[in-house]
């Protein structure tokens, strides 16, 4: 015999089902349904007892009004079945059963029912405690909008405590064989004094005795506020976005306590992120998202919400597509939340999450270190490994991944590294330019008095010499201020330096003094990181020495040296060579060249020392991470 038959057989009396619920069904007299009234109601009619104080709200089955109970002397909420449904026996039975189920579930979080009957017009109604407070849906809206009063009054801990109470209320219902099937933020109310209520048991189902008899014969969507998806009653019963996948499929035989656990997980996700678990522009989008599987990873969906990993794991487990993978009961879900609230951070959960991040990091590391590896994959691998170590600092695979990534540099330097190298190169270029400017300025300052002391043989040669030294000094100053590596200023500076060095040929010839000065110049130029630049300068500098020698041998240039009786004699061309001034000038030039070279190389050495120190410190830190 079907449930419909069973319900029909109980039309004339009261019996109890296997869960212990009274299932009194109204008698039918002359086409009008009614219930046996209490003695008090018989003495005082409906109109005398209840006076309307206004509407409180509306749902899929009817309207909720605020009425004054004249007998008790208190305000109560009266829910009356929608007029359009009064002629549908299934709807009437369902409405009455809602009142009976809600009235027999005695729990602080379930609104008690006071009375059940029919109005003089034949409309089914029941009265219940009038509850005051805000729905969880309203609280979410206030939190999303940054309402100061809501933010101040509803902390995450307060909402989680209320959520745990909701779970226990649903656990009581499950223990009595009742599934709510429509858990959502708008069906949860929080009072001003810590009260928590689970509302609207209109589509609740008795686990064993429910069948098609209590379902509305057609799918129906009630009117609701804009943007709120209404409860759908029919073969597919529930609210899209909160229904479990088995509800969406309409598989009534598959529904059990884990169906409500799924909805509770969706409610918890919204508490943590202030975003719905399933998002979409239409009911079809929501149902499709439910069937394809929920992305309940709060850290990815709402990174700014700072959701602890323990709560994220609870959400993920509660909203698994397969019921077998969810919490087995609402109590188990409540216990998991309570452990978090009590500060009992589940180490196993942290280790499980750490292992997940470590596996992801290892996969990304393989991708990053491959021939086609990308910098982005390396960044993500390090981030995942860092999250794994944040959850479990002792996780060895994550440590190995970090060390592997840090000790294996990428084949192609990332843009950040290239930028840092360019900054260092520019610093070195400026250092070399400053050293050259100082050296040539010294030549400019002392050349004239020294030339006069030695005696100027060729004024035009001496003038060219001074002019080239001044040009070289100015070019080095310009290169020192340049912000471009090997740019026009740097090239002009190098050219002027080479010309300035070549001018020494006019005074002392291509050997003796010139090679010493060139060696000092080369020491700083060769620090430049670009090979083509270094090769060009080396070639040009070599030509400064080699070309004058060749030109002297073939007779194009006048000889700078004479060779007599095994002696090499310098032939004056630009300056005369009296003994004392000549010795002083040669000694001074050699000493100045040496000092400037020592200063430039010492500054470079300091830079290298700092870099080596940083590398060694990083290596030491890695050894502390993984001994």
Q: pLDDT tens, 356-378?
A: 898 998 888 888 888 777 778 88
pLDDT at 525: 67
Q: What mean pLDDT comes out for the span 156-175?
A: 94
Highest mean pLDDT among 30-39, 168-177, 235-244: 168-177
Nearest to 172 by CA among 265, 109, 95: 109
Residue 266 has pLDDT above 90, yes or no: yes
Q: Which of 5, 48, 82, 182 is catalytic?
A: 182
**pLDDT: is 183 or 538 the higher one?**
183
Residue 25 has pLDDT above 60, yes or no: no
**pLDDT: is 162 or 627 the higher one?**
162
Q: Tens digits of per-residue pLDDT, 73-116?
A: 999 999 999 888 888 888 888 888 888 889 888 899 999 999 99
19: tokens are 């869960």
> What is the crossing angle of helices 309-318 and 347-368, to 10°?
90
Compute the distance between CA of residue 425 and CA of residue 552 in angstroms, rounded to an integer.
39
| Residue corresponding to tokens 């009614």 | 34
pLDDT at 425: 76
Compute the distance between CA of residue 273 and CA of residue 266 in angstroms, rounded to an integer.
11
Q: What mean pLDDT comes out for the span 533-546?
A: 81
**pLDDT: is 573 or 80 the higher one?**
80
Of the listed ranges 278-287, 290-299, 448-457, 553-562, the least confidently predicted one is 553-562
For 130, which DSSP code? P
- CATH number for 3-129 (one of 3.30.56.10, 3.40.50.11900, 3.30.200.20, 3.30.460.80): it is 3.30.200.20
pLDDT at 604: 74
Confidence grade of residue 428 (pLDDT, cut at 50, 70, 90):
confident
Phi-psi region of 555 (alpha: psi -120 to 50; beta: other; left: phi over 0): left
335 part of the active site: no
pLDDT at 121: 86
Mean pLDDT (the chain, rounded): 79
Contacts of 543 (CB under 8 A, 6+ apart): none
CATH T-level fold of 134-345: Transferase(Phosphotransferase); domain 1 (1.10.510)
**CB 570, CB 560: distance < 8 Å:** yes
Compute the distance between CA of residue 590 and CA of residue 584 in angstroms, rounded to an integer.
10
**pLDDT: is 326 or 567 the higher one?**
326
């Amino acid at each position: 015999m079907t449930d419909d038959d069973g319900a029909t057989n109980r039309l004339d009396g009261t019996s109890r089902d296997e869960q212990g619920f009274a299932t009194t069904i109204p008698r039918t007299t002359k086409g009008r349904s009614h219930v046996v009234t209490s003695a008090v109601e018989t003495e005082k009619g409906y109109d005398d007892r209840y006076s309307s104080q206004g509407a409180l709200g509306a749902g899929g089955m009817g309207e909720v009004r605020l009425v004054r109970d004249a007998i008790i002397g208190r305000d109560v909420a009266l829910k009356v079945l929608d007029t359009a449904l009064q002629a549908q026996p299934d709807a009437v039975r369902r409405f009455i059963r809602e009142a009976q189920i809600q009235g027999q579930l005695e729990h602080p979080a379930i609104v008690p029912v006071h009375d059940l009957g029919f109005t003089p017009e034949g409309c089914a109604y029941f009265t219940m405690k009038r509850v005051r407070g805000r729905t969880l849906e309203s609280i979410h809206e206030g939190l999303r909008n940054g309402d100061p009063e809501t933010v101040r009054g509803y902390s995450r801990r307060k909402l989680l405590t209320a959520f745990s109470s909701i779970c226990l209320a649903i656990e009581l219902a499950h223990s009595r064989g009742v599934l709510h099937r429509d858990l959502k933020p708008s069906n949860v109310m929080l009072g001003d004094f810590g009260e928590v209520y689970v509302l609207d048991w209109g589509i609740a189902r008795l686990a064993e005795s429910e069948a098609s008899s209590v379902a509305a014969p057609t799918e129906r969507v009630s009117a609701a506020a804009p943007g709120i998806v209404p409860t759908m009653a029919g073969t597919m019963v529930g609210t899209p976005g909160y229904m479990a996948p088995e509800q969406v499929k309409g598989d009534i035989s598959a529904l059990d306590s884990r169906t409500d656990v799924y909805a509770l997980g969706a409610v918890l996700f919204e508490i943590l992120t202030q975003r719905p678990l399933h998002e979409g522009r239409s009911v079809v989008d929501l149902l499709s998202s439910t069937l394809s599987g929920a992305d309940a990873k709060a850290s990815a969906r709402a990174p700014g919400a700072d959701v602890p990993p323990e709560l994220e794991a609870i959400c993920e487990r509660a909203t698994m597509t397969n019921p077998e993978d969810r919490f087995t009961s609402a109590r188990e879900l409540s216990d998991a939340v309570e452990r978090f609230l009590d500060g009992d951070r589940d180490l196993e959960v942290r280790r499980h999450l750490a292992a997940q991040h470590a596996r992801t990091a290892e996969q990304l590391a393989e991708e990053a270190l491959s021939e086609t590896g990308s910098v982005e994959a390396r960044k993500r691998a390090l981030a995942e490994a860092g999250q794994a170590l944040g959850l479990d600092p002792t996780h060895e695979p994550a440590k190995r991944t970090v060390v592997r990534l840090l000790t294996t540099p990428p084949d192609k330097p990332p843009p950040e590294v290239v930028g840092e190298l360019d900054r260092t190169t520019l610093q070195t270029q400026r250092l070399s330019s400053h050293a050259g400017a100082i050296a040539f300025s010294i030549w400019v300052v002392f050349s004239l008095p020294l030339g006069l002391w030695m005696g100027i043989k060729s004024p035009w040669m001496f003038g060219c010499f001074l002019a080239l030294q001044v040009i070289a000094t100015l070019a080095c100053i310009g290169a020192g201020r340049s912000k471009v590596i090997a740019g026009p200023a740097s090239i002009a500076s190098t050219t002027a330096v080479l010309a300035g060095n070549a001018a020494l040929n006019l005074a002392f010839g291509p050997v003796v003094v010139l090679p010493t000065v060139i060696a000092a110049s080369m020491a700083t130029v060769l620090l430049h990181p670009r090979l083509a630049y270094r090769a060009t300068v080396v070639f040009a500098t070599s030509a400064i020495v080699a070309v004058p020698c060749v030109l002297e041998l073939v007779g194009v240039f006048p000889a700078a040296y004479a060779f007599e009786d095994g002696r090499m004699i310098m032939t004056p061309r630009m300056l005369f060579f009296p003994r004392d001034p000549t010795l002083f000038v040669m000694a001074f030039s050699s000493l100045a060249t040496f000092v400037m070279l020592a200063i430039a190389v010492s500054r470079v050495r300091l830079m290298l020392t700092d870099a080596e120190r940083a590398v060694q410190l990083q290596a030491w830190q890695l050894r502390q991470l993984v001994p």
